C-alpha cells in the first residue's frame, strides 16, 4: 500500500501553480492549468491531477510547450470556430474557445470548435462540463501518441483517444461521461504499475504481443487494447478522424515522429461540439429528460449509477485530499 499525505485544495493549487511557474509558465497559463489539476484531485480523477504535473513540467522545460501561450480563436462560419492553441496547454485553448463556441451554439443551435497546436494530457470532463453549464450538450475528443493496437493488430497505432459527453440538467449537476477508448487510460495503467496492482485481462499486451495483467509490462514496451474489441477500435478510429482528419492536425501515429520524447504531452488536435436542446428539442425537453434519468436510475438490479455522479459526490467533500507521497517527493525535486 503506497503512502499518502493529506493536502487541502488550496495547498494542491499552490503547489501546482508554483511548480508550473518555476518551469516557465506565465501567470495566465499557470493559473488555468493549476485549476484543472486541483479540480481533478477534488473530484478524485487521480490519474489526471498532480500525477500529470511532472510531464507538464518536462514539456515546459524542454520548451516544447509554450508556457506563455495565448490561443487564437477564428470564427470561420456562424457555427464553426477554428482555434490555434499557439503551442500551449489544452486548458488555455479551452479558456479562449469555450465562450466563443457557446455563443455560436446558442445562436445557431449547434457549433463545433476545431483546435490545433495544443498539448492535451488532462481529463476531458472539464471542457464538456463547462459547455453544459450554459445549458448545452457537449462532446469532446482528442487523440494522443500511438499506445493502443487496433482490433486485429498487436502494435500501437491509435492514441488512448478519450471521448467525453455532457448533458445539462436544470437543478442538478450535468450527466458527464468521460472515457478512454482504450480498455484503460494510460494514466490509470501507470498508477496501477506505481501501486503494484494488477490490471484486468483484456487491458493490454506485453512487448511480445502476449496478453498480460502486469501494468508495467503494458506501460514499458507493451501496448494497450481498445475496450470492447472491434467496437472500441471503431470508436477510436472515429476520434482519430475528428481530431486529426477534421482539424488538420496529426494522427496519433504521425504525432510520435514529431515529438521530442521529453515525457511531456504531445502536440495535437481536439474536437469540441456544442448543441442547444433549447433550440433543437421540442418543448419541455428538461422534464422529458429528467423523467428518463429517473426511470433509468430506478431500474431493478444492482443499482444504476449515472456517469459523473462519483466525481460530483467527491466534489462536495471539504476534507483534505490524499496525495501519493512518492509523487510529492518527485514534484518537490523538479
Ligand atoms: P473510467 O473508466 O474510470 O470512467 C469512464 C466513465 O464511466 C466516467 O464518466 C465514469 O463516471 C463512468 N463510470 C465508471 N463506472 C461507472 C459505473 N459503474 N456506472 C456508470 N458509470 C460509470 O474512465 P477512463 O479510465 O476510461 O478514463 C479516465 C480519464 O482519462 C478520462 O477523464 C479521460 O478523459 C482521460 N484520458 C485523457 C487522455 C488524454 O490524452 N488527454 C487520454 C485518455 C484518457 P464517473 O466519473 O462518475 O466515475
- pLDDT band for position 1 (50/70/90)? low
Question: Phi/psi at 108 (nearest 5 deg)?
Answer: -100, -15
Ligand 1 atom nearest to 310, measured from its CA: 47
Least confident of 75-84, 188-197, 300-309: 188-197
Mean pLDDT of 108-136: 97
Is the shortest distance between the CB of 17 and ligand 1 below 6 Å?
A: no
- pLDDT band for position 240 (50/70/90)? very high
- Which residue, judged by its Cα, is nearest atom 3 of ligand 1? 179
Return the pLDDT at 191: 87
- The structure's pTM equals 0.95
- The packing angle between helices 53-61 and 325-332, to 10°, is 20
pLDDT above 90 coverage of the chain, percent: 93
- Rounded distance from Cα 179 to ligand 1 centre (Å): 4
- β-strands 80-89, 72-77 pairing: antiparallel
CB pairs under 8 A, 24+ apart, for 151-154?
151/226, 151/229, 151/230, 151/232, 151/233, 152/230, 152/233, 154/205, 154/209, 154/223
- 11-29 tens-digit pLDDT: 999 999 999 999 999 999 9
- β-strands 80-89, 204-205 pairing: unpaired
Domains of the chain, residue spans: 4-64+313-333, 72-280
- Rounded distance from Cα 227 to ligand 1 centre (Å): 12
Is the shortest distance between the CB of 232 and ligand 1 below 6 Å?
A: no
- 94-105 tens-digit pLDDT: 999 999 999 999
Mean pLDDT of 131-154: 96
Each residue of 196-232: b (16+ CB within 10 Å) or e?
A: eeebeeebbbbeeeeebebbbbbbeebbbbbbeeeeb
Beta bridge partners, 273, equal 112, 139
Ligand 1 atom nearest to 304, measured from its CA: 19
- Which residue, judged by its Cα, is nearest atom 25 of ligand 1? 185
Question: Phi/psi at 99 (nearest 5 deg)?
Answer: -60, -40
Is the shortest distance between the CB of 101 and ligand 1 below 6 Å?
A: no
Residue closest to 33 by CA, chosen among 50, 58, 47: 50
Is the shortest distance between the CB of 144 and ligand 1 below 6 Å?
A: yes
- Rounded distance from Cα 11 to ligand 1 centre (Å): 26
Topology given in CATH for the domain delimited by 72-280: Ribosomal Protein S8; Chain: A, domain 1 (3.30.1370)
Q: With 80 as the cut, is the pLDDT of residue 116 above it? A: yes
Active site amino acids: 47-48, 188
- What is 95-136 written as a DSSP string? HHHHHHHHHHHHHHSEEEEEEEEEE--S-SHHHHHHHHTTT-
- Listed in sequence order, the residues at least 6 apart from 90 whose beta carbon sits closer than 8 Å to its beta carbon are 115, 118, 119, 120, 121, 122, 142, 270
Is the shortest distance between the CB of 305 and ligand 1 below 6 Å?
A: yes
Ligand 1 atom nearest to 121, measured from its CA: 41
Beta bridge partners, 223, equal 205
Mean pLDDT of 201-205: 95
Residue closest to 189 by CA, chosen among 174, 178, 200: 200
- Rounded distance from Cα 178 to ligand 1 centre (Å): 5
* Equal fold, 4-64+313-333 vs 72-280: no
- Rounded distance from Cα 91 to ligand 1 centre (Å): 18
Is the shortest distance between the CB of 64 and ligand 1 below 6 Å?
A: no
> The C-alpha cell of 310 is what?
462519483
| Options 1.20.1260.10, 2.102.10.10, 1.10.1530.10, 3.40.640.10; CATH of 4-64+313-333 | 1.10.1530.10
Return the pLDDT at 186: 83
Residue closest to 306 by CA, chosen among 315, 317, 294, 314: 294
Return the pLDDT at 171: 85
Amino acid at each position: 500500500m503506497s503512502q499518502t499525505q493529506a493536502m487541502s485544495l488550496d495547498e494542491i493549487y499552490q503547489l501546482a501553480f508554483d511548480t508550473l511557474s518555476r518551469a516557465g509558465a506565465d501567470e495566465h497559463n499557470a493559473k488555468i492549468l493549476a485549476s484543472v489539476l486541483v479540480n481533478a484531485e477534488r473530484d478524485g480523477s487521480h490519474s489526471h491531477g498532480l500525477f500529470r504535473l511532472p510531464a507538464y513540467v518536462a514539456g515546459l522545460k524542454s520548451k516544447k510547450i509554450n508556457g506563455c501561450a495565448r490561443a487564437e480563436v477564428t470564427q470561420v462560419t456562424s457555427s464553426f470556430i477554428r482555434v490555434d492553441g499557439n503551442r500551449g496547454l489544452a486548458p488555455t485553448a479551452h479558456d479562449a474557445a469555450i465562450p466563443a463556441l457557446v455563443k455560436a451554439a446558442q445562436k445557431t443551435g449547434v457549433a463545433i470548435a476545431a483546435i490545433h497546436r495544443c498539448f492535451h494530457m488532462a481529463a476531458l470532463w472539464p471542457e464538456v462540463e463547462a459547455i453544459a453549464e450554459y445549458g448545452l450538450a457537449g462532446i469532446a475528443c482528442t487523440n494522443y501518441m500511438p499506445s493502443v493496437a487496433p482490433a486485429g493488430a498487436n502494435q500501437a497505432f491509435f492514441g488512448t483517444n478519450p471521448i467525453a459527453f455532457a448533458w445539462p440538467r436544470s437543478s442538478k449537476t450535468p450527466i458527464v461521461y468521460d472515457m478512454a477508448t482504450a480498455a484503460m487510460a494510460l494514466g490509470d495503467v501507470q498508477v496501477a504499475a506505481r501501486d503494484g496492482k494488477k490490471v484486468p485481462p483484456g487491458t493490454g499486451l506485453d512487448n511480445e504481443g502476449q496478453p498480460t495483467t502486469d501494468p508495467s509490462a503494458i506501460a514499458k514496451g507493451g501496448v494497450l487494447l481498445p475496450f470492447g474489441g472491434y467496437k472500441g477500435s471503431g470508436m477510436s478510429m472515429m476520434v482519430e478522424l475528428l481530431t486529426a482528419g477534421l482539424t488538420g492536425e496529426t494522427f496519433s501515429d504521425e504525432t510520435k515522429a514529431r515529438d521530442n520524447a521529453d515525457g511531456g504531452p504531445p502536440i495535437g488536435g481536439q474536437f469540441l461540439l456544442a448543441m442547444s436542446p433549447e433550440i433543437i428539442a421540442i418543448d419541455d425537453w428538461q422534464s422529458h429528460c429528467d423523467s428518463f434519468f429517473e426511470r433509468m436510475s430506478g431500474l431493478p438490479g444492482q443499482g444504476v449509477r449515472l456517469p459523473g455522479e462519483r466525481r460530483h459526490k467527491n466534489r462536495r467533500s471539504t476534507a483534505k485530499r490524499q496525495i501519493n507521497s512518492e509523487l510529492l517527493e518527485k514534484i518537490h525535486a523538479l
